[in-house]
């Protein structure tokens, strides 16, 4: 097929040399790059412009096309989505669709010709005959509509800010007719208006003193600001003009979402201060939603300016506290009125629950007569009760991953879980952890990240694939009549009417939980190109809990909080003394060093304290497990593969310390093990064997089953038969 047919009708397929394909330097995929500058038609084919455009598309070290390079090498050239081009003068073709693929081919050709790299299954003959589809558009508007259908509402969407810029440009081509743009692209009027208005707020930020800090992923912050009525009112936002009336408030908002550089005071001798940079206050969509709740409270806003801490401002907001208290009283009044109309139908169990509620209310009435349990403001999430008589007496995993109908009855303070590989031991720990977290979706997301051994926010598409389609867990907590706890999670794959941007919707989580009759719920909507959206009713855990495993790193903030709690409880010294006695006599202390939550070891053999990571896995694991007890005081600690990295000679003294800490801090422990030495150590260390229960988890025809043994029975069987709990099927 010739590169230059006599007639090239619109939409006709042909092949052209890669050297005659030129990237579009004004493509909306790259217009959000900080170095992008609009290119005039006369300069489109300028070699410098083409090199700069190639760099934009490929990214530094080809980071934007690594997946495409790997795919082309593995599969060769797959002519599935055509490269759309427009013929220009001199036999040159401007790429309309397929700029990533053309830039990638150009990169591979250059490396092949200069360095003879292996192209895998890519035939180098393609470089001289690239299949394309020739298009000729009547005008720029028609061209923009075509790109919009591909990248605004189609499958290969541009980043959100780029889509908004394309919508605004299309509006100009349609003589300002927003309805015509919506009809052409098939998007809702609300989505169009919100996108264009958000872009106007973004442009205002770019023109401010902080404009050089703008990043494309901040677009969703500005979108959330304009989606909030309280934020719009505070700014004095006018939809018609896309401007704010309260400029001082806009300046404050821009300051909160930006880094701020200030001069620190100099030394007393008059030295010039060193500039210090403070981090942004607002960095996520969730922060905007929290800010919206307190934005009408002048004292809270003033506190935010002073401390640059959203948490400090939220905790200081009398408006937020009063609103929560009023809602709580309203719920109580409504509930009492409903019960009053059904007095004659209340059963004896119902009346027992009434008495429990009366007791709780009496406790609140006495609150002014006793000092607070802890200093400082209210935590975002708290246990239902700070003080409990006990924790779980039974747990029933009705559905979670491979566990269907698995029940643990007669739970004790120390619960040993043994069994064959792939029996579901780790899944059982996860299920109990989720039950303690109730409707806090962060618990489920933590478990998924831990399973995937990821740090930070995972890719939304990957995350949705990992979420189980349904979870149902129940248990009895605190040994009080009626104190049953439950958790029900459903993954919904179809958007409801409450989802405004259905084009990027992936899935929704509906989390329902309850404890002692108190129902809570959380709805989480997940999107492909923006942070998840969460709304909830109720923010209480069953208790404080932690799940630790040798196969992932414990969260630094959790260890920092546990370190503080262990110092206050006096248990950190016990852990340090254990390490000095059994592992390293020349170590003197392990201290939290800095804002990065690193632990440094004071040691007689080192002039300068080394990082804890310099020491063996066994020492680190014993130290971290020991700290975590104080962090979950009154709650539940779940330990996966307890014996991992710990020498067998340490198991007897370490298991005894674990039991002592559990009693001292009122913690219930669930742990899995593959080690008979671990099981023998717990039942043979001479400490409160009656506090132990052992559970053998097995699989029969694909389903999990369990057998229970109390500690004293395990001890008798061990002495008589050298019994091994792991061997039970």
Of 76, 96, 78, 79, the C-alpha closest to 87 is: 96
Query: What was the pLDDT predicted at 212?
Result: 86
Higher pLDDT residue, 421 or 92? 92
d(CA 432, CA 452): 19
Per-residue pLDDT of 366-397, as tens digits, reads 544 443 333 333 346 889 887 788 899 999 99
Q: Is 662 helix (H, G, I), strand (E, B) or coil?
A: helix
The answer, yes or no, to whether residue 169 has pLDDT greater than 80, is: no
Query: What was the pLDDT predicted at 368?
Result: 46
Residues contacting 55, CB < 8 A, separation 6+ = none
The answer, yes or no, to whether residue 5 has pLDDT greater than 90, is: no
Measured in whole angstroms, the distance separating CA 505 from the mean position of its chain's CA atoms is 17
Structure tokens at 509: 């989580």
Cα–Cα–Cα angle for 651, 653, 658, rounded to 5 degrees = 85
Q: Is 75 helix (H, G, I), strand (E, B) or coil?
A: helix
Q: Quick one: average pLDDT of 250-255?
A: 92
Q: Quick one: average pLDDT of 702-716?
A: 85
d(CA 569, CA 626): 12
For residues 454-464, b (16+ Cβ closer than 10 Å) or e, as one string?
A: eeeeeebeebb
The answer, yes or no, to whether residue 727 has pLDDT greater than 90, is: no
Q: Quick one: average pLDDT of 224-251?
A: 92
| pTM check: above 0.85 | no
d(CA 20, CA 94): 9
The answer, yes or no, to whether residue 712 has pLDDT greater than 60, is: yes
The answer, yes or no, to whether residue 497 has pLDDT greater than 50, is: yes
Residues contacting 287, CB < 8 A, separation 6+ = 281, 310
Per-residue pLDDT of 20-41, as tens digits, reads 999 988 887 777 777 778 889 8
Q: What is the band of 279 on the pLDDT scale with cuts at 50, 70, 90?
A: confident
DSSP 20: G
End-to-end CA distance of the chain: 70
Per-residue pLDDT of 437-460, as tens digits, reads 999 998 998 899 888 888 777 888
Query: What was the pLDDT predicted at 579?
Result: 95
Q: What is the band of 187 on the pLDDT scale with cuts at 50, 70, 90?
A: confident
d(CA 678, CA 704): 23
Query: What was the pLDDT predicted at 167?
Result: 79
CA 22, 27, 31, 34: dihedral to nearest 10 degrees?
-10
CA 329, 332, 334, 340: dihedral to nearest 10 degrees?
-140
β-bridge mates for residue 165, sequence order: none
Higher pLDDT residue, 178 or 287? 287
Report DSSP letters for 491-547, one per residue: EE-S--TT-S-TTSEEEEEEEEEEETTEEEEEEEEEESSS--EEEEE--EESS-EEE
Q: What is the band of 274 on the pLDDT scale with cuts at 50, 70, 90?
A: very low
Contact between 521 and 538 under an 8 Å Cβ cutoff? The reply is yes
Measured in whole angstroms, the distance separating CA 302 from the mean position of its chain's CA atoms is 30
Per-residue pLDDT of 293-334, as tens digits, reads 889 888 888 888 888 888 777 766 766 666 667 777 888 888
Question: Strands, DSSP E only, in 563-610?
Answer: 587-592, 599-603
Contact between 627 and 595 under an 8 Å Cβ cutoff? The reply is no
Q: How many CB atoms lie within 10 A of CB 609?
A: 17
Contact between 449 and 460 under an 8 Å Cβ cutoff? The reply is no
Measured in whole angstroms, the distance separating CA 404 from the mean position of its chain's CA atoms is 27
Of 670, 360, 633, 374, the C-alpha closest to 518 is: 360
Higher pLDDT residue, 323 or 568? 568
The answer, yes or no, to whether residue 643 has pLDDT greater than 70, is: yes
Contact between 709 and 693 under an 8 Å Cβ cutoff? The reply is yes
**54 φ/ψ angles, rounded to the nearest 5 degrees:** -60, -40
Question: Strands, DSSP E only, in 160-298?
Answer: 237-238, 243-244, 260-263, 275-278
CA distances from 57 to 29, 30, 60, 159 (A): 8, 7, 9, 13
Contact between 98 and 63 under an 8 Å Cβ cutoff? The reply is no
Q: Quick one: average pLDDT of 170-186?
A: 76
Q: What is the band of 48 on the pLDDT scale with cuts at 50, 70, 90?
A: very high
**Most confident listed range (222-231, 352-361, 477-486):** 222-231
Q: What is the band of 619 on the pLDDT scale with cuts at 50, 70, 90?
A: very high
**639 φ/ψ angles, rounded to the nearest 5 degrees:** -120, 120
Residues contacting 496, CB < 8 A, separation 6+ = 508
Query: What was the pLDDT predicted at 369?
Result: 43
Return the half-sphere exposure (C-beta side, CA atoms, 13 A cut-off) of residue 366.
7
* Biggest CA-to-CA distance, the chain: 96
The answer, yes or no, to whether residue 245 has pLDDT greater than 60, is: yes
Query: What was the pLDDT predicted at 250?
Result: 93
Q: What is the band of 623 on the pLDDT scale with cuts at 50, 70, 90?
A: very high
User: E strand or H helix at 489, and its extent?
Assistant: strand 484-492
Q: What is the band of 265 on the pLDDT scale with cuts at 50, 70, 90?
A: very low
- Average pLDDT value for the chain: 83
Query: What was the pLDDT predicted at 140?
Result: 65
Per-residue pLDDT of 511-558, as tens digits, reads 999 998 889 999 888 888 777 888 888 889 999 999 999 888 777 778
Q: Which region, left, alpha or beta, applies to residue 76 given φ > 0 means left and ψ of -120 to 50 means alpha?
A: left
Query: What was the pLDDT predicted at 157?
Result: 58
Query: What was the pLDDT predicted at 595?
Result: 56
Structure tokens at 436: 């303690």
Contact between 21 and 132 under an 8 Å Cβ cutoff? The reply is yes
The answer, yes or no, to whether residue 264 has pLDDT greater than 90, is: no
Domains of the chain: 12-136 (no CATH), 547-727 (3.40.50.300)
Of 146, 144, 189, the C-alpha closest to 170 is: 144
CA distances from 8 to 79, 135, 227 (A): 20, 9, 48
Contact between 537 and 514 under an 8 Å Cβ cutoff? The reply is no
């Amino acid at each position: 097929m010739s590169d230059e047919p006599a007639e090239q009708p619109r939409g006709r397929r042909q092949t052209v040399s890669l050297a005659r394909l030129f990237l579009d330097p004004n493509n909306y995929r790259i217009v959000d790059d900080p170095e992008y500058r609009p290119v005039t038609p006369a300069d489109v084919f300028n070699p410098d412009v083409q090199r700069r455009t190639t760099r934009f598309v490929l990214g530094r070290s080809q980071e934007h096309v690594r997946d495409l390079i790997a795919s082309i090498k593995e599969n060769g050239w797959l002519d599935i989505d055509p490269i759309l081009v427009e013929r220009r003068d001199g036999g040159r073709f401007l790429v309309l669709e397929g700029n990533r693929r053309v830039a990638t081919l150009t990169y591979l050709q250059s490396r092949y010709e200069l360095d003879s790299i292996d192209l895998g299954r890519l035939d180098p003959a393609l470089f001289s005959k690239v299949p394309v589809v020739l298009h000729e558009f009547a005008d720029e508007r028609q061209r923009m509509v075509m790109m919009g259908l591909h990248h605004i509402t189609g499958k290969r969407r541009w980043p959100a800010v780029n889509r908004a810029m394309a919508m605004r440009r299309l509006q100009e081509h349609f003589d300002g007719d927003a309805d015509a743009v919506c009809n052409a692209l098939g998007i809702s009027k609300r989505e169009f208006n919100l996108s264009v208005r958000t872009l106007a707020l973004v442009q205002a930020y770019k023109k401010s003193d902080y404009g050089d800090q703008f990043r494309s992923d901040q677009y969703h912050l500005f979108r959330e600001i304009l989606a909030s009525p309280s934020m719009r009112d505070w700014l004095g936002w006018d939809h018609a003009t896309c401007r704010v009336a309260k400029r001082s408030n806009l300046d404050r908002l821009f300051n909160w979402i930006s880094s701020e550089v200030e001069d620190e005071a100099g030394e007393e001798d008059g030295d010039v201060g060193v500039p210090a940079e403070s981090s942004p206050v607002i960095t996520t969509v969730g922060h905007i939603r929290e800010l919206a709740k307190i934005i009408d409270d002048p004292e809270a806003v003033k506190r935010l300016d002073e401390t640059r801490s959203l948490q400090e401002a939220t905790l200081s907001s009398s408006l937020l506290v009063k609103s929560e208290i009023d809602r709580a009283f309203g719920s109580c009044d409504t509930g009492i009125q409903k019960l009053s109309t059904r007095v004659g139908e209340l059963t004896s169990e119902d009346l027992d629950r009434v008495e429990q509620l009366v007791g709780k209310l009496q406790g609140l009435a006495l609150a002014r007569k006793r000092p607070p349990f802890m200093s400082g403001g209210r935590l975002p999430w708290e246990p239902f009760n700070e003080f409990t008589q006990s924790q779980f007496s039974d747990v029933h995993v009705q559905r979670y991953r491979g566990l269907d109908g698995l029940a643990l009855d007669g739970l004790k303070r120390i619960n040993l879980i043994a069994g064959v590989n792939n029996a579901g031991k780790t899944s059982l720990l996860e299920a109990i952890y989720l039950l303690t977290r109730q409707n806090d979706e962060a618990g489920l997301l933590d478990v998924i990240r831990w399973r995937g051994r990821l740090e930070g926010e995972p890719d939304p598409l990957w995350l949705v694939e990992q979420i189980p389609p349904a979870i149902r867990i129940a248990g009895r907590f605190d040994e009080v009549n009626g104190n049953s706890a439950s958790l029900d999670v459903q993954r919904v794959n179809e958007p409801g009417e409450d989802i405004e941007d259905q084009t990027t919707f992936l899935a929704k989580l509906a989390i329902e939980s309850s404890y002692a009759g108190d129902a809570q719920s959380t709805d989480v909507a997940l999107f492909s190109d923006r942070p998840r959206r969460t709304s909830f009713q109720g923010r209480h855990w069953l208790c404080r809990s932690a799940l630790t495993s040798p196969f992932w790193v414990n969260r630094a903030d959790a260890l920092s909080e546990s370190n503080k709690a262990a110092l206050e409880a006096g248990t950190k010294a016990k852990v340090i003394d254990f390490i000095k006695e059994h592992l390293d006599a020349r170590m003197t202390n392990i201290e939290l060093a800095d804002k990065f939550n690193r632990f440094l070891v004071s040691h007689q053999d080192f002039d300068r304290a080394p990082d804890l990571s310099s020491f063996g896995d066994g020492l680190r694991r014993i130290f971290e497990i020991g700290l975590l007890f104080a962090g979950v005081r009154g709650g539940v600690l779940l330990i996966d593969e307890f014996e991992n990295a710990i020498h067998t000679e340490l198991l007897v003294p370490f298991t005894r310390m674990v039991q002592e800490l559990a009693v001292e801090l009122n913690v219930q422990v669930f742990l899995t093990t593959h080690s008979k030495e671990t099981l023998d150590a717990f039942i043979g260390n001479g400490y409160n064997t009656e506090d132990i229960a052992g559970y053998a988890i097995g699989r029969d025809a694909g389903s999990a089953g369990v057998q229970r043994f109390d500690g004293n029975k395990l001890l008798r069987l061990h002495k008589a038969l050298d019994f091994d709990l792991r061997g039970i099927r």
